[in-house]
């Protein structure tokens, strides 16, 4: 890039001219100092350097971390990783060399950042998030970011977002709200994972997790206390009924007692809530992740048993009857992925019953085309937002707007492979999603998000609003 091209790109020639004219009008005795100070205020920092590396996530699996430098300092971001849900989500680029981290290393993605992405973004204004994200999308040229890797693009996108907030000298959540054109800032209701199953634990429970929602809290600080206290009471309940070995935890920090039925898990949680005394202030949510135990058109509720008799196989209609019964017997307010990711019809019918919030995760994978279809067909009424399924901050903002315009709920979500980066906490507040899933109230990579929400609430002071009873549509 030539000097003139650089000046043109950042409109510096015009800003220099404005500074000189201002000095003349001010009749300053030291025009050089005046112009220097004027330019310092007028010229924003630019991206000076981008450096990526491979680190390990909470499962000991490689992921991408980025340091992005401007005149304001260094801004670090690391991306989570999950179990890919199929062809509709952005590509998590891995090396595939079985001799390196069993094929899971991400050195290709790291190289793509250090070479190609870095070259494309050096000199750009970090406050121009959409332009930065679009530059990476254009550089990739594939529909699902398979050339550079969504893990590479997202790490840079998040780091740039942090740098943009610093450049504007505003909190990260405020910068995100500005990018989205929002004025309301809302502390989300946390969906604490308390019992883990499915692929996230070694027990016989088919569903992925049972969560608690402290919707009756008056502020986030109280919600966190309610969640933590319930979690510890649950530990006592499980220890009493299943022994201390039942208190081992799954990938998200939820307990993994050796149970096999929905009702066993729900009874444990119900007892724990009862012991806290919070009762109606805490509701229950399920992440069924039904795709994981769907076989053809049937759902195997005993998926880890080696001997398949077929006695525990359910049809889609049977699953609906089971959910209706569970929702009448327990304070279940939300069910995520109640059916297979391609079972649109049963999901739509169940959603039409208006029994609870019906959340699409594997069904939607934060993909705008899938979300648009679900909105048009009234398939579900809430979105799980997972940043690495879509790949940039700008696209995440757009898909949340799509969901909110349809009067859907939005659940900002972590992944099973997490880092200590707390970005999704600020994202949930800035986009006023009203709900956040970040795992159990334990483990450092999960608590990083919850503790950041505490800090945000403290910083907002009297202006802090907790979603509470309005969590579905904050």
The active-site residue out of 386, 404, 437, 472 is 386
Q: Is 421 annotated as a binding residue?
A: no
Look up tokens 């907002």; give the residue: 460
The order of strands in the sheet holding 73-78 is 49-56, 62-70, 73-78
The single-letter DSSP state of residue 377 is H
- Residue among 135, 170, 219 at smallest CA distance from 392: 135
Cα dihedral across residues 235, 241, 247, 253: positive or negative: negative
Alpha-carbon separation of residue 44 from 1, 128, 179, 451 (angstroms): 19, 11, 17, 31
Q: Is 287 annotated as a binding residue?
A: yes
Active site residue 386: yes
- Residue among 334, 402, 85, 329 at smallest CA distance from 190: 334
Longest dimension (CA), the chain: 92
Distance CA 79, CA 64 (A): 6
Active site residue 354: no
The active-site residue out of 252, 337, 343, 426 is 252
**Token pair for residue 32?**
């050089």
Q: Are 43 and 15 in contact (CB under 8 A)?
A: yes
Q: What are phi and psi of 112, to 5 degrees?
A: -60, -35
Distance CA 426, CA 77 (A): 13
- Residue among 71, 76, 88 at smallest CA distance from 156: 76
Residues β-bridged to residue 382: 359, 409
| 3-state SS, residue 96 | coil
Distance CA 438, CA 456 (A): 16
The set of residues, in sequence order, having a beta carbon less than 8 Å from that of 125 and lying 6+ positions away, is 10, 44, 45, 46, 47, 131, 167
* HSE toward the beta carbon, residue 407, CA cutoff 13 A: 2
Q: Is 361 annotated as a binding residue?
A: yes
The single-letter DSSP state of residue 255 is B
- Residue among 237, 240, 245 at smallest CA distance from 270: 237
Known binding-site residues equal 287, 336, 361
- Which residues participate in catalysis according to the annotation? 252, 386
Known binding-site residues for Mg(2+) equal 287, 336, 361
């Amino acid at each position: 890039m030539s000097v003139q091209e650089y000046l043109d790109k950042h409109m510096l020639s015009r800003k220099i001219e404005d500074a000189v004219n201002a000095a003349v009008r001010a009749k300053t005795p030291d025009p050089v100092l005046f112009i220097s100070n004027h330019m310092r205020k007028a010229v924003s920092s630019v991206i000076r350097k981008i450096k990526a590396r491979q680190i390990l996530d909470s499962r000991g699996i490689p992921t991408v971390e980025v340091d992005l430098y401007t005149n304001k300092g260094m801004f670090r971001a690391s991306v989570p990783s999950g179990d890919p849900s199929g062809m509709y989500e952005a590509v998590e680029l891995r090396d595939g060399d079985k001799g390196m981290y069993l094929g899971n290393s991400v050195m290709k993605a790291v190289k793509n950042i250090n070479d190609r992405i870095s070259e494309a973004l050096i000199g750009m204004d970090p406050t121009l998030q959409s332009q930065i994200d679009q530059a990476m999308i254009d550089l990739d040229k594939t529909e699902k970011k398979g050339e550079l890797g969504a893990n590479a693009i997202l790490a840079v996108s998040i780091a740039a977002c942090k740098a943009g907030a610093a450049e504007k000298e505003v909190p990260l959540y405020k910068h995100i709200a500005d990018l989205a054109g929002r004025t309301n800032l809302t502390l989300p209701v946390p969906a604490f994972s308390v019992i883990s199953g499915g692929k996230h634990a070694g027990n016989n429970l088919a569903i992925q997790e049972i969560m608690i929602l402290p919707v009756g809290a008056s502020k986030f600080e109280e919600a966190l206390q309610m969640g933590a206290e319930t979690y510890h009471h649950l530990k006592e309940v499980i220890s009493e009924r299943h022994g201390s070995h039942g208190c081992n935890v799954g990938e998200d920090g939820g307990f993994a007692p050796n149970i096999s039925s929905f009702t066993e898990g729900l009874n444990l949680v119900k007892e724990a809530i009862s012991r806290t005394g919070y009762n109606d202030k805490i509701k229950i949510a399920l992440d069924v992740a039904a795709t994981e135990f769907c076989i053809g058109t049937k759902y195997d509720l005993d998926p880890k048993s080696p001997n398949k008799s077929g006695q525990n196989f359910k049809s889609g209609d049977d699953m609906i009857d089971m959910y209706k019964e569970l929702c009448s017997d327990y304070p279940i307010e939300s069910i995520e992925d109640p059916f297979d990711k391609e079972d649109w019809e049963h999901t739509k019918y169940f959603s039409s019953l208006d029994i609870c919030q019906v959340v699409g995760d594997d069904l939607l994978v934060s993909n705008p085309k899938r979300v648009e279809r679900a909105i048009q067909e009234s398939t579900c009424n809430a979105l799980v937002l997972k940043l690495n399924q879509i790949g940039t901050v700008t696209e995440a903002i757009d898909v949340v707007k799509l969901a909110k315009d349809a009067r859907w709920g939005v659940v900002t979500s972590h992944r099973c492979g997490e880092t200590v980066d707390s970005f999704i906490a600020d994202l949930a507040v800035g986009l006023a999603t009203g709900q956040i899933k970040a795992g159990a109230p334990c483990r450092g990579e999960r608590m990083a998000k919850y503790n950041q929400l505490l800090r945000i609430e403290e910083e907002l002071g009297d202006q802090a609003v907790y979603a509470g009873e309005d969590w579905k549509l904050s």
